[in-house]
Amino acid sequence: MNRPLPSAPDVHVLVVGDVMLDRYLYGRTERVSEEAPVPIVQVDGSEDRLGGAANVALNVVSLGAGCTLVGAVGDDRGGSVVAELLDAANVDADLVVVDGWRTTLKERVVSMRKQIARMDFEAPLAESVAIEVAKRVARHAGGKDAIVVEDYDKGAIDRPQRILAAAQGITTVVDPKFKPFTEYRGAALLKPNRRELRQALGRWPDDGELAELGPALARASGIDAIALTRGGDGLTLFESSGPVVHVPALGIDVYDSTGAGDTVAAAFGVCAARGWTWSDSARLANVAGALVCAKAGTAAVSLAELNAALRDNVSTARAASNRRQLAEAVARARRQGARIVFTNGCFDILHAGHVGYLDEARQLGDRLIVAINDDDSVRRLKGEGRPVNKLRERMRVLEGLAAVDWVVPFSEDTPEALLEEIRPDVLVKGGDYAAHEVVGGEFVRRYGGDVRVLSEVGEYSTTKLVEFIGFPERPADA
């Protein structure tokens, strides 16, 4: 389930890191130079945009939260432009202005809507500047709801522990570069990309091994969670003491991935400031990162366009009130590479056992379908007096669970016909079943699907709840 992100004027995120200026030169390319085999670009115009930690700050504000930025710029025109752009974006900036140092500049040449060259102008920062940055973080950290550390290895974050010590007690999201992950010990969440995680592990494992190595790496590094951005393969969340959650990429035409990591880091920071779980934050950040990839150059995602995309995605996922709609939604998800998990039951009175079971089922794939018996079939299975809650009420409760993507009713006594139409990748039932007892299991195995029987989650029973409430005892719920 994708939660919308409400406007958060009362939430304030502190961003610290390497500040950059991104400059775009736009022009026409009509011939090749006689001096060398390179295109000649007739420059028609230019545009300056915020980059690095400044782009993270821009995205935080664009997502409806307040933001303070701490970093360093040179005592030059580039530093002045960064300050002007931050002021125009309503970012409260406390920038160390460094005499004799040039503001980091990335200059890109764009022709025919394509980037054909990039020139980087940068120099290392003195350690004294990094120490001053850490002091200013300590000055601003009090009262902030979350901190985002944007480390591009340009020198502002030369020793991450200085920043993390200043941020102690505040949820901290780190976008790392190529430092050992242990240098970020104490951070709540680390957001590496493929290259950064490969360097941390020393190699790139297959997905099965990665599911074990990711949480282990988080534990060894002293970090609560790692959110791995995987480009067209989506985002994978490894919690040190929890399940692995994979969020498939949004089906969107990628125009330019520049700055997408900044947007994802900002989204995690805003969600952390609001106290969201990492799994809910990962789903929202994944959508935000995809949206910015549809834009040209370094850019920000607005709260309005993010929530519009979330609503579209939610309506696609929830528009499963009949089998045709479910089949269409599943087909769209499969085109994005999603692994489909299916389970079914009456779910008459939803209890903690059901919630734990559905959470466990969701971890087996990317999307979870819950097929729910309609009222007549529940009555045939459970007897008169059941269901206690009508179909619409039972569906509404299931739709509110973060683990559930689609809820669909069926009128037959078993879901076998629905299984034949959907052909899920994984069929799941609770631990009170044996593997050979799972209805539809033989059919799913024949086409290569997986059938799982999950562990029982605590001593919970709908029958006991019904008896406690005062109804006659009924057979146990599925």
Positions marked active-site: 262
Pairing mode, strands 367-373 and 340-345: parallel
Structure tokens at 9: 């004027």
Structure tokens at 128: 């004294």
Could you identify the residue written with the tokens 């460094």? 98
> What is the CA 461 to chain-centroid distance, rounded?
34
Q: Are 388 and 360 in contact (CB under 8 A)?
A: no
Structure tokens at 109: 């040449």
The helix/strand count (H/E) of the chain reads as 16, 18
Cis? peptide before 387, omega within 30° of 0: yes
Q: Are 262 and 250 in contact (CB under 8 A)?
A: no
Q: What is the DSSP string of 63-76?
A: TTEEEEEEEEEESS
Q: Are 23 and 50 in contact (CB under 8 A)?
A: no
Strand order in the sheet with 450-453: 406-410, 367-373, 340-345, 426-429, 450-453
Q: Roughly how many angstroms between the first and final C-alpha of the chain, as a whole number?
A: 23
Taking the C-alpha atoms of residue 111 and residue 32, their distance in angstroms, rounded to an integer, is 13
Closest CA to 30 of 110, 111, 119: 111
SS3 195: helix
Element (H, E) at 429: strand 426-429
User: How many CB atoms neighbour CB 157 within 10 A?
Assistant: 31
Could you identify the residue written with the tokens 């007690």? 169
What type of residue is 37? P
